[in-house]
Every structure is written in C-alpha cells, then in structure tokens.
Amino acid sequence: MKLFSLLSRYVSRSFLYSFVTILVCLFVIIFLFDFAEVQRRTGSKEISLVIKFTMVLFRAPHLLEQAFPFVVFIAALFAFWRMNRSHELVIFRAIGISLWRLILPIGLTALFIGCVALTVFNPLSSTMLASYENLEKKYLSNSKEEVKIESTGLWLSEQLGPNQVIYRANQIDLKSLEFKDLTIIVTSPQNKFLERIDAKTGQIQGNRLELKEGWEMKAGNVAQPFTQKLIETSLSQTKIEKMKVNRNALSFWKLPAYIALLDTSGLKSLKYRMHWHSLLASSFWLAAMVLLAAAFACRPLRQGRTVVMIVIGLGVGFLLYFFKDVTFALGSSGRLPPLIAAWLPPLLTVMAGAALVFNQEDG
C-alpha cells in the first residue's frame, strides 16, 4: 500500500508538471494571437494599450477553458510516454504493477482538475468574458441592441433613428411575436426621457408594433389612454433570438436560473440547457482523455512505432474534439436530447480507451 501511495504521488506529480507547463505555453500563445487580433480590430481607433491588454486578459481564460480537454490529453500523453521511454513502465510491470494502477491516480487528478475548472475557473472565466464583451461594445462596436432577462421581466433594447428604445415585457410568444404587459421607454441620444408607453399586449407585424389597451405619456405631458396604437420597430423573431445573452458569459452556477427565466419569458432555452450539460460532461471528459492517452502512449518500446502511435493518438484526440462540437450542434438544434449529446463524447472516449488498454494488458 505504501508503494502504491508513493507511486500514485509520483505519476500524479509528473502529470501535473506536464499539464501546468502546457497550460502556461498555451496561455502565452493565446495571449499573443488574441492581442494581434485586437490590434487588427482596433485599427486606427484611439484605444490605449492598457485597454487592449485588459481585453485580451479578460478573454484569455475563456479560450483556455475551451482547450482544457486537449491540454489534459497532451499532458497525459507526455507523462506516459516519458515513463515508457525511461523504461519505468517495464519496471513497474516487472514487479507486478498493473497499467491501471498508473492510470487511476492520473485519471483522478484530471477529474479533480475538471471539478475545479467547473466550479471555480468557469465562473471566473464567465465573469471576465462578460467584462470583455462590455469593453468590446464600448470600444469596438457601435450596436446598442441587447437583451436582458431578469426576474422583473424580459428587457430588449434597439436603436431607431437617433433615439434609443427600451422594451420590458413579462412574457413573449416567439411564434406569434406577441408581448404581454409591455412597457416601452424612448430616450434621446443625450439619454433624456422622451416617451413612455404601457400596453396590455403588443404584437410585431412586419416593421410595426401593434399595441392594445394602454397609456402613452410624452415628456412634459400627462398620460393619455389608447385602445390601439401602431409604432415602428425593427424587432423580429430572428433578431430577438440573436440578441440573447452569450451563453459562455454565464457560469455553470448561473445557467439554471437563467434557463428558468428564459422558460418563464417564453424564449427558447435549449442551447443554454445543452451548454450546461456540456460543461458538466466536460469535467468528466478530462479523466476519460487520460485513459485514451494511456492507450496510445504505453505501447511497449520493443514493439516499435511508439512515436507513430502517439501521433495517431493526437489525431484521434482531434477527431474526438471535433465530434464533441458536432454533438453539441446536434443537441443545440434539438436533433439529439441534450443529455445524450453532452455525454456521448466522454462515453465513447472511455469505451475506446478502455478497449485499447485492456488489449495491451492482455496482449
């Protein structure tokens, strides 16, 4: 048991060293490429270097988070390959230590990394990504159209001519494009109040919004009731769908509440449900990638073609990463249940890795 404890700490430390090294190198690469992209987008705009660095730093954790499964896979490949090259695997097997006893501690370490990434790193990266989007809207985008979904209702914003129009509704039916308990506030470019309209219902018809049973109050005048009123709008079903909050800017902990608000507001929540399941599955996928790495990196050196097998392993890892994107798209479109779409890649990774490792152990 003492030998197993020492061995576990040794292989886990070796894997962690590789993981941290690759993660730091990847962060530097992401930072440099993203900074070049920000420089290109800013062009001749007068934006300070501090703001540019801040934007890159705010987005880097999100980009890094997307690469976690592949970083774990490469780190595990390198850790197993190093033990194989130094003949440590031969020694371990000679004294009766199974390959599974080497995989288990590294897999548990990867699972721990996944749990920390899900519960701690993901909320941090989501918060920083939201800050990045605010800076992007302020310095790189001229659009003033956005949507917010809160307990007070659904909030939409659009720019009509020089004025800003804000909509608040308790609920929206995307099929009929009908708002319930609608409040509209119009402000000038100088952010001064111009007009407020309250209506029981509002329905989009082409480029107009038909309001029924409400009150209208203009700046400096008393409120006037109306039975029916038409106002111009650029809102549409497609536009409202596109205006929804970036799901990556919502953390794992905030997504369930936001999904409930979407359902209450009448908006589709499928993509957000899929994203939540995907985040949960990804934390376990890290451990599955360790199993797959062992299958390709622990081939005995006497059999030859070890480097070729590692290259093939990298190719399989890329294919699985691509497959994960495919299942995510299928789940987000409703062609696959989110639960199946999210957990299918980790399940296939475990099955493939386990089959190959069992073959090595028996062979």
Give tens-digit pLDDT for 42-72: 877 778 889 989 999 999 999 999 999 989 9
What percent of the chain has a predicted confidence (pLDDT) above 70? 91
Q: Give 337 or 43, the one with higher predicted confidence.
A: 337
250, 258 Cβ separation under 8 angstroms: yes
Please tell me the predicted confidence (pLDDT) of residue 242. 67
Please tell me the predicted confidence (pLDDT) of residue 306. 67
Say what the alpha-carbon torsion angle 303, 109, 291, 122 is, to the nearest 10 degrees. -130
- The secondary element (H helix, E strand) that includes residue 127 is helix 122-139
| pTM strictly above 0.85 | no
Domain map of the chain by residue range? 2-140+268-362, 146-242
Could you count the other beta carbons within 10 Å of the beta carbon of residue 59?
23
Please tell me the predicted confidence (pLDDT) of residue 244. 66
Q: Is the pLDDT of residue 362 over 60?
A: no
- The encoded tokens of residue 113 equal 């990394």
Q: How far is residue 345 from each of residues 77, 282, 342, measured CA to CA in Å? A: 19, 9, 7
Q: Is the pLDDT of residue 144 over 60?
A: no
Strand partners, 165: 158, 186
Q: Give 53 or 308, the one with higher predicted confidence.
A: 53
- Give residue 140's pLDDT band: very low, low, confident or very high (50, 70, 90): confident
Q: Give 228 or 140, the one with higher predicted confidence.
A: 228
- C-alpha distance across the termini of the chain, in Å: 27
- Give residue 6's pLDDT band: very low, low, confident or very high (50, 70, 90): confident
Q: Is the pLDDT of residue 85 over 50?
A: yes
Using the CB atoms, write b or e for 201-222: b if 16+ within 10 Å. ebbbeeeebbbeebebeeeeee
Which segment of 9-23, 86-100, 182-196, 200-214 scores lowest on mean pLDDT? 86-100
Q: Is the pLDDT of residue 361 over 50?
A: yes
What percent of the chain has a predicted confidence (pLDDT) above 90? 33
186 class by beta-carbon count within 10 Å (0-12 exposed, 13-18 middle, 19+ buried): middle
Please tell me the predicted confidence (pLDDT) of residue 146. 62
> How confident is the prediction for the chain on average, in pLDDT?
85
Which segment of 27-31, 111-115, 290-294 scores lowest on mean pLDDT? 290-294
Q: Give me the residue label for tokens 């980009």.
A: 63
Give tens-digit pLDDT for 172-216: 887 788 888 999 999 988 888 889 999 999 998 888 889 999 999
Which segment of 133-147, 163-177, 202-216, 287-301 scores lowest on mean pLDDT? 133-147
Q: How far is residue 113 from each of residues 56, 127, 324, measured CA to CA in Å? A: 24, 20, 19
**DSSP sequence for 188-214:** -TT--EEEEEEEEEEEEETTEEEEEEE
Please tell me the predicted confidence (pLDDT) of residue 1. 42
Could you count the other beta carbons within 10 Å of the beta carbon of residue 317?
21
